[in-house]
Amino acid sequence: MDKRISRKDEHIQLALGHPDIEVSDFDSIDLIHQSLPECDVKDVKLNTRINSINLNTPIYINAMTGGSKWAQEINEKLAIVARETDSAMAVGSMHAALKSNQLKETYSVVRNIYKGPLFSNVGADVPLEFAKRAVDFLQADALQIHVNAPQELIMPEGNRIFSNWLSHIESIVNEIDVPIIVKEVGFGMSRETMLKLKSVGVTTIDVSGSGGTNFIHIENERRTLKEFSYMKGWGQTTAISLLESKGTGLEVLASGGIRNPLDALKCMVLGAQAVGISRPILLKVENEGIEDAIKYINDFKEHLIILLTMSGKTCIQDLTSINYILKGDVWSWYQQRNENMGWNT
């Protein structure tokens, strides 16, 4: 079996067996309850926008896989789930399709089934021409550029050249017409990173913080000696990354460790326009079936409507006005970063 195909299947297997996270930084954010909501359930709308793309729900199926027969089967299921729940969807890294015509169908199956908002996905290491092909191939509505240096460095066959990433991102932003989303892969983003991206024209980011699927863990499990287990805590959580984004002027998406609708609500209170979910949906489609995955997302949306009503808000755009308290390590991080960096947010 081709090494790239084998790696794709190993990633799926390890993601399915990834340990669940029970304790989260989201638990260190308390929303202030208001006893008089002054709105009705029927008035609550979940529509939002990512750049110029209108979404009917703030929950989207984030990038997972592609590039193998198993990945194609999963992408087919995910596309059906996206279609039936009216959720935007991102495909996994498309490097395999860009290098092998035989693997293109493992991604194109999504567009054949799902006609809604779809995001292509490439790494920051690819040149402009590859990025253009990724968008054109799927007739994508947006392009995710993933930045995954820790994963590459722990991956035995991973990339070792990172000095050209920012210039690649800049050229893609300048030359491709669809919205560009620069996305982490589970290690979160610092404000310094966000401002560098903004300086080259990036307007939308997915902070994809730690707390969910950990690609250091996954790549370390693929190593014979598993010698990088001590690095499992590397990176910033999604909650911390959202706090880091305040005052940057960037449009922010959140993903990484979203356990339930309350976590998603907290992301949007902290400024996220939409929230991406990956592994929980993967577990549903693979272990329980398409119908259960559809029910999971539909229930998620219904719970969000309940939570918005409890908060006295009728739209996603108003959630940032909800008051909250930061506790423990999250409050300590936020306080120290503001003091040490001279931020006033």
| Binding-site residue set | 7-8, 63-65, 93-95, 121, 151-152, 183, 208, 213, 257-259, 278-279
Token couple for 292: 């259960």
Residues annotated within a binding site for Mg(2+) = 152
- CA neighbours within 13 Å on the CB side: how many for 198? 14
Helix 191-199 to helix 238-245 angle, to the nearest 10 degrees? 50
Report the distance separating Cα 33 and Cα 227, nearest Å.
46
Residues annotated within a binding site for FMN = 63-65, 93, 121, 183, 208, 213, 257-259, 278-279
Strand, coil or helix: 167: helix
Other residues' Cβ atoms within 10 Å of the Cβ of residue 226: 10
Helix (H) or strand (E) holding 140: none
Helix (H) or strand (E) holding 264: helix 261-269
Token couple for 265: 């609500």
Residues annotated within a binding site for substrate = 7-8, 93-95, 151
Report the distance separating Cα 96 and Cα 3, nearest Å.
11
